[in-house]
Structures are given as structure tokens and as C-alpha cells.
A and B are shown apart, each in its own frame.
Chain A
């Protein structure tokens, strides 16, 4: 792809280290997310996947470098759309989907009530992700898949250059999930965005992404989905049956084989 014509964001992370106390959660992580790439960061629970996203968001102090280039311009920070893993809401929270969208698209105080115009605007934003019918539902009443679509719609209102998805698979059935991933891919084609998806579902994600990065505090392996999935040693150690064991051995030795 010609960089000069490309308005995409690419981001280069070198030797990123993040510590909580004495424990390094991310240890010398180097990644290069290319223009318009959809990348999956896969790893077991507690591998530092969410920490990576939140560091990119600027929430934690880090050692190392994060450089970005947008539309050929060096240094400008990308606009980020972020889809959180979960919301801090009780099931009966009196906030509906339209409220949440209006919080993102308007400065008008939501507590004064949502005007008809804003309500229609919210519906329009949602309908792009086939979620228009959810506008009047309370957030707590949504299914996992519905919530992911609403949050994606909200993330896209920021007109992001980089889209970060944190565990979009949790609480979503397989059909809903493949629909969701297809939606994300189509976004990449319609908008100028690069996408990072964090997940522990190696098998489910592989048909929808350009590249898979295996993370367990540091980058264990990376490559095209086909290559990663055909490597038996990786599948054996990183495979679905072992997903919830966080004390995985580091696979640095496997890196050369990819």
C-alpha cells in the first residue's frame, strides 16, 4: 500500500514495558500495526492484553516508545475509538442506549432529557450497526452481542483512526460474534482505520484478521493466522483447552519457527 496516499494510521510500539509495582505486566513488547490492518492480540487471562490497550489509550505510565504516523504525518496522536470489555453498570441502571450515544455525540446535558432531534441522530448512528431498534432499551437489558454493537457504534462516533476492541467475544454467542467481526472488517473497508482486537479466542478470531500476535507479557509469536494456526507446538501450548491457565510457559523458543 502506498503510504503517501494512505490516510490510515499506523502505530509502532518499541520495547514497551509497563509495571504494576515490581511486576512487569508488559515486558519489552514491540509491535508494528500497519496501515489499515486488523490485528488480533491473543493471549491467556492475565497476559497483559487489556493493559496493552489501556497503555495505548494513555492510562498507564510506560517505558519504551510509541510512535504513530497518520496519513504520512509523523507524530500526531491517532484519534482512538475504544470498545471496553464491560461497563460498570448495575443491571437496573436508569440509562438507555440513546442516552449513552448522546453522551458521545453532543455536549448538551443529557440529564435535561434528550431532544427529539438528538434522539433521531442517535437512532441514525445506531442503525449503521443494526442497533437502531435498541435506542429506548436500558443498557442493562441488552444481550452481550447487542451491547457490543452499541459500544462499537459509539466508538465510531469519535471518527477514529485506530479502533481498539477489548474482548468483544465475552458474553456473545458464536453467531453474533462472527456477525460482529464481519462488521469490524467492513468498517476497515469503509473508513480509514486500523483495528486491534484483544481476545483469548484464537480459533474464533483467525478468519477475520490479517495478523495474530500472541502475547504473554511479551510477544511470544506473531504472523498470519494460517501460519500461527498450523504451528502445532503453538496450538498445543496456546490451544483453547489451556486458555484459562494463566501460568503458561513463555514461548520465545517458538518465535523462530514462524
Chain B
């Protein structure tokens, strides 16, 4: 499979980039991961879960730390476990408390970061974990790409079957329940999927900015779109465009890819916000 992609990339990419296998890997990873983010982001923004996903991203620190305590070489599994537990916990608490989740999430954020750093910084060893903070798309392995491809398929199937239920639940939980939608199941499965995606992608873009990638394309799309279809489509498009342009730009500028991609996404957001303003002015 991946050999096929290498051949294809030879035709698509300019010569100086096509020389490097790692660029081809990175591009494939970006092309797979950005549409996932574009789709999931629409629901994160609509459901006002931006702060939640921020906490989710930072829980990776605790996941890595616990992996090391347990002597596990590849921290992906403990990271996913911690994130899924956190996601389910927050979802249950959301149903129980009538108060705002804002403060509760703030406490979780502090706890996850502090616990992670405390464990990882034993014997002054935190420096070797900084790659997790910034991420490294160029170091992506074919095995990781296979994981991302699998997630791509899972998210696509999930969105086909549960997408409508998710949207109706976000519009009104009671209305959804009156149509026999099991809203708790729908919301919990979504947050679990979100947790897994974020943890798998965190190697590529880093803890510090993963949330921006999730939120910005959908937020930009929201400024322009007037229907669910346009919202999703534009979000995917903006995510993929800022992903690929950011990746190439980071190669030429010699900068961190994740951050560069986010800058392009911020650019898209700024343009969409301006478009929205101009359109509103011309209406009134």
C-alpha cells in the first residue's frame, strides 16, 4: 500500500521534496489525519467542548508518565487508556452536575499536567520528553500511518452511522431522546473516539497545539457555512489545505511542522472571520 503512495507522490511532489521518503510519509499522514480533525472538530465546536479537548490533549503527559512507571516502551497504550478514562469520567460528571463544567475541567487540566510533569521530571529527565510537546510529523513511521489510516476508516464509518444522532443530540438532548436516540451512548462513544484520535495524533503535532488543529478548521468553517453539509465540507477542506501548505512551508522554513500548520489554520480563521463581517455589513 505505502509503496503505491510513494510512486504516486513521485508524480505529485516537486523533485526536491520527492527525494525524501520522510516527506512522503509526512504528507500521507497529514492527508489522513487532517480530514479526521476537520470532521471531529465540527462537533467539538458545536458542543462547546473546546476546553475539554484541551484537557484531553494535556492528559497525554500523565499517560506517558504512567507508561514509564509501568515500564512500557511505547506509551501509546497508556496514553489512550488515561484519555479514554478521562473522557468517560467527564461525560458521566456532565450528566450529574447541574453546574458549569468549566471549573471541573480546569481542575482536571491542572491535575493531568502536574501529575505528568512530576513523574516525568524525576532525576531532571523532562527534557527528553519535549518532542511530545511539539510533535514531529517528519518522523512518522509507516506503522503509525497504518494506525491513522485505520482511524480514518473508523471515523468515516462512525460518522455515517452516528453523525445524525450526534447532531440532533447537540441541538437538544430531550428532542433526541424523544426520537429514541440513546444520547449518553452517542456522546460517550464520540468522546472515546475523540480521545483515541487525539492520542494517536499527538506524536505528530504535539500536546501544546493539538487542540488548535481540532478547533480551528471547524471554527473557521462556522464563520461561513449555513448548513451542516457546508460546515463539515468546509471544515475538512480548511483542515487539509492548512495541513499540506503548513507541512511544505515548515520544510522550506526549517520550522516545526505542527506549529506551522496551526499558523496557516489561524490564517484561514482570520480570513473567514473577515468574510463573515463583510457579508454582515453588506446585509445591513
User: Which residues does A use to contact B, with CB under 8 Å?
Assistant: 54, 57-59, 80-82, 84, 86-89, 92-96, 98-100, 103-104, 107, 109-114, 136, 138-139, 151, 154-155, 158, 164
Contacts and interface: CB of A to CB of B under 8 A. Distances in A.
A95 B228 contact: yes
A109 B164 CA distance: 6
A145 B178 CA distance: 22
A110 B171 contact: no
Contact of B170 (A84, A88, A92, A155): A88
13 contacts: A87-B175, A88-B170, A93-B222, A94-B226, A95-B228, A96-B228, A99-B229, A103-B164, A107-B164, A109-B159, A109-B160, A111-B39, A111-B167
Given A95-B227, A114-B229, 15 more contacts: A57-B174, A58-B177, A84-B172, A87-B171, A92-B223, A94-B222, A94-B228, A96-B228, A110-B163, A111-B42, A113-B229, A113-B233, A139-B171, A151-B175, A154-B175
B174 A96 contact: no
Contacts of B228: 94-96, 99, 110-111
Given A58-B177, A92-B222, A95-B228, A111 B172 contact: no
B75 interface: no
Contacts of B171: 87-89, 95, 100, 103, 139
A99 B167 CA distance: 10
Contacts of A57: 174, 177-178
B173 interface: yes
Contacts of B122: none
A116 to B, nearest CB: 13
A238 B178 CA distance: 31
A140 to B, nearest CB: 10
Interface string B217-234: 000011101111111110
Nearest to B221: A94
A84 to B, nearest CB: 5
Contacts of A139: 171
Contacts of A114: 227, 229
Contact of A112 (B173, B179, B225, B229): B229
Contact of B174 (A54, A98, A138, A158): A54
B131 interface: no
Interface residues of B, number: 30
Contacts of B226: 94, 96, 136, 138
A98 B227 contact: yes
B46 interface: yes
A92 B167 CA distance: 15
Contacts of B164: 103, 107, 109-110
B77 interface: no
A206 to B, nearest CB: 26
B168 interface: yes
A59 B174 contact: yes
A54 B177 CA distance: 10
Contacts of A109: 159-160, 163-164
A113 B228 CA distance: 7
Contact of B163 (A81, A86, A111): A111
Most buried by B among A95, A104, A154, A155: A95
B159 A111 contact: yes
B230 A80 contact: no
Contacts of B231: 94-95, 111
Contacts of A107: 164
A80 B226 CA distance: 30
Interface string B32-73: 000000010010001000000000000000000000000000
B241 to A, nearest CB: 19
Contacts of B232: 111-112
A82 B177 CA distance: 9
A99 B227 contact: yes
Nearest to B175: A84
A171 B175 CA distance: 19
Contact of B179 (A89, A104, A136): A104
Contacts of B229: 99, 110-114
B222 A84 contact: no
Given A94-B225, A95-B228, A103 B233 contact: no
Most buried by A among B177, B228, B229, B232: B228
A82 B174 contact: yes
Contacts of A111: 39, 42, 159, 163, 167, 228-229, 231-232
Contacts of B178: 57, 80-82, 155, 158, 164
Contacts of A110: 163-164, 167, 228-229
Contacts of A87: 171-172, 175
Most buried by A among B179, B227, B233: B227
Interface in B56-115: none
Contact of A96 (B42, B168, B227): B227
